[in-house]
Structure 1
Amino acid sequence: IQVVAVGSVGKWSEQMMTHCADHTDLISEHFYCRDKKNLLEHVRQIPNRVKRIADAHRGYRKRFDSLKGKDIRIALDEWNYWYGAHVFGELGTRYFMQDALGVAAGLHEYFRNSDIIFMANYAQTVNVIGCIKTTKTAAAFAATGLPLCLYRNHFGVTPVAIEGDYGNLDIACAWTADKKKLTVGIVNATMEKHSISLDVQGAGLSGKGIMYVIEHEDRMAYNEPGKKPRIAINKYAVFNAGKLTSPPISVVVYELPVK
């Protein structure tokens, strides 16, 4: 059994870490984000909130004597977007392509801070603010459900440090558990196609691979239960692993085998 203290970055979490650390295994945090007119600002909300929480708790470890010798990590027990009309019953909001980008960028920030974030629970699963929407006769993945599926099934488990100037793209890399593939996630929250050069240090790639793409030209596109999905995960072959592309308004995960 692990004891999870209730936290909220700021004075509340500071008091918990100061006075309750001897009785705490993990500390919870949670957040929700609203709609923004600017696409990049809308997408950056989630990774920015994740980073703010992680940075705050890193600061607590430096400031408070009560945390010396302890590894009280973060249980981010709720996170998501939450806005718009209740289309699917009580609090049943609809999710759009712009939200899928934000969820993917949020996953990237969790990966970057996986040393201090113990778990991160997307809220919720079905209807309400969930990633699966239903009617009485049909069900469909909301836009936000697709990056969760994509990264769970095709992104690696060991984060890899990256360097370079990639502008407004959000990029994360990880090795698969068997170290046979390098995976690269790219979130493109712009209206332009982008290409980046990949130079891997300490390992050789085969030069080929697979790319999985979630994209739509309309940032407000969404999936509707009982109808053909407007947003889906598509799979393509890669023949030049040294140059990675990302379409406008897209989430891309590359699987690149080693030699």
Structure 2
Amino acid sequence: MTPDTIRVRTSEEIDRVNPEIHGHFAEHLGRCVYGGLWVGEDDPLPTTDGIREDTVERLSDLGVHQLRWPGGCFADAYHWRDGVGPREERPTRPNDFWAQGREEAFVESNAFGTEEFVRLCELVDAEPFLAANVGSGDPQEAKEWVEYCNREDDTALARERAENGSPDPHDVTYWGVGNENWGCGGQFDPETYANEFRRFAHYMRLRGAEETIACGHVDEDWNRRFLAQLTEPDLLDHLSIHRYFGRWDGDCGSATEFDDEQYYLLFAESLKVGRQVDSAAAAIDTYASTDDVGIAVDEWGAWHPEATSENGLEQENSVRDAVAAAGVLDDFNHRADLVSMANLAQTVNVLQCVVQTDEEAAWPTPTYRVLDLYSPHVGATAVRTSVETEEVETDLWEVPLVSASATDGDEGTYVTLSNRSLDEERTVRVAVRDDIGGASGEVLFADHDPSDYSTRGNAAEFEAADLDVTTEDGDLVVDLPPNSVAGLSVESA
């Protein structure tokens, strides 16, 4: 077999990989918040202010650089005042969109609100990202939420925050102006949403919203119509897109059951993420500039047919999903000049989560392992990387069998690469630079099938193992098992 070749051009810099690209998403949906993140102060599990300490430990070790809340579709039916003040006085409301766990059905207790969320962010050292209610709310409600969180002078809402236990401002930088407002967030057409965005963002900025995120679409025409109507791009810092892959119709199989064709189709679907970033960037550059407006992929990940509202969008987290996530992270690195933030959906127990829990423990998923392996990219400078490899045809487009990206940082060059082949080991040559001082590697999933998934009992089996790295004619050479992901640390001479 002819080796695959990865060429890392360290002299061709793209941009810094923003830490916010390694962000996550927590919605009031299933067991993400209730049971996964927050269990209350009377729970037998160890907690800090009702927040699970085992989940916090996992997320802190991983690095959650920013966390988006409270949704999702839930955001445009959520009124923030329901979730502040004494918990025993907070109203119980219907959850218009999602089941809250398997017993509480479509009911929201509001036990977890703004103060609890900000406390969680403090515990895991994440930047909070709040999504304001545009669909059923108004600018007054949104600007008051900003004031409650961010004002430090002597205003009524700043005093109310202090009475609720937070005398110092929360300093929330990132504010989403609605969510999926073309759908569950109000069924707006792009022109109407542009008018609403302009109105909301104007008043939110007056009260201290530093960076605002507009709801975009994977449809380029929708984005162009929105941007054309907006007329005031200075109000816009980020345009969001959402992309789930896995096909709810079952064309990619389920999380753990799929044939060869379905196996590769999931990877083809995952390639849409990068393509739609490019599409959104083209729309922005028509009416503003991607130098000023970043793209926030603030929901992304695998969504399989078995994850339904009735079961709290739970699905097994398999090796195939994790390898697909690695390719998406490579695509983000390739577009570090375009992607300003991203949020894997969702943090705990829901969809392609990084942590799963039961009533006694929290454990990492295979996708957690990938995010951890990719952590050296955070804050480093992405550089141009090309891959020469075989491709597999699907009914969408061809899927390269090897994916890769690279960054340069203080510790040298870091290269991530994955083998998407279902059943073949791939020998990969990595051409980095002439002055290699040394290299080491780690590999994930070397002894796993693509359908393997994490449980409380087997989670440790998905940890990274050492990878042999040899040198041949100045290139690094590694043998990648099928369905595996690797990271190479390359030192300068």
The TM-score, its normalising length taken from structure 2, stands at: 0.48
Of 93-102 and 154-163, more deviation after overlay is shown by 154-163
Cα RMSD of the aligned pairs, angstroms, is 2.5
User: 1:3 is matched with which residue?
Assistant: 212
Of 13-22 and 237-246, more deviation after overlay is shown by 237-246
The one-letter code sitting in structure 2 at the alignment partner of 1:34 is G
Q: Give yes or no for the alignment of 1:197 onto 2:420.
A: no
Query: Map of 1:162-181 to 2, 5 A cutoff?
Result: 162-167=385-390, 168-175=401-408, 177-178=409-410, 180-181=411-412
User: 2:369 is matched with which residue?
Assistant: 146
Query: Map of 1:14-93 to 2, 5 A cutoff?
Result: 14-20=224-230, 21-34=233-246, 36=252, 37=258, 38=261, 39-46=263-270, 48-62=271-285, 64=286, 66-67=287-288, 71-85=292-306, 90-93=312-315
- CA 1:228–1:158 in 2, change beyond 3 Å: closer, same or farther? closer
Gaps of 5+ in 1: none
User: 2:416 is matched with which residue?
Assistant: 185
Deviation at 1:85, TM superposition (A): 3.5
CA contact (8 A) 1:104 1:147 kept: yes
- CA 1:169–1:34 in 2, change beyond 3 Å: closer, same or farther? same
Deviation at 1:254, TM superposition (A): 0.7
User: 1:211 is matched with which residue?
Assistant: 441
Of 25-34 and 145-154, more deviation after overlay is shown by 145-154
For 2:313 and 2:290, how far apart are their aligned partners in 1? 43
Deviation at 1:69, TM superposition (A): 8.7
Deviation at 1:239, TM superposition (A): 4.3
For 1:8 and 1:33, how far apart are their aligned partners in 2? 15
Of 142-151 and 52-61, more deviation after overlay is shown by 52-61
Over 4 Å off, 4+ runs? 153-156
- CA 1:161–1:210 in 2, change beyond 3 Å: closer, same or farther? same
For 2:288 and 2:215, how far apart are their aligned partners in 1? 16
Deviation at 1:124, TM superposition (A): 1.3
Q: Give yes or no for the alignment of 1:118 onto 2:340.
A: yes
CA contact (8 A) 2:469 2:476 kept: no
Q: Give yes or no for the alignment of 1:250 onto 2:484.
A: yes
Cα-to-partner distance string for 1:87-129 (whole Å, 9 max, x where unaligned): 9x52222110000100000000000111111001111111122
For 2:485 and 2:458, how far apart are their aligned partners in 1? 22
Q: Give yes or no for the alignment of 1:225 onto 2:437.
A: no
Deviation at 1:221, TM superposition (A): 0.3
Deviation at 1:86, TM superposition (A): 5.2
CA contact (8 A) 1:73 1:118 kept: yes
Identity of aligned residues (%): 24
CA contact (8 A) 1:100 1:143 kept: yes
User: 1:161 is matched with which residue?
Assistant: 384
Deviation at 1:41, TM superposition (A): 2.4
What secondary structure sits across from 1:50 in the alignment? helix
Deviation at 1:78, TM superposition (A): 0.6
How many residues are paired up?
252
User: 1:109 is matched with which residue?
Assistant: 331
For 2:388 and 2:241, how far apart are their aligned partners in 1? 31
For 2:366 and 2:282, how far apart are their aligned partners in 1? 35
Deviation at 1:160, TM superposition (A): 1.9
- CA 1:15–1:147 in 2, change beyond 3 Å: closer, same or farther? same
For 2:413 and 2:379, how far apart are their aligned partners in 1? 7
CA contact (8 A) 2:214 2:238 kept: yes
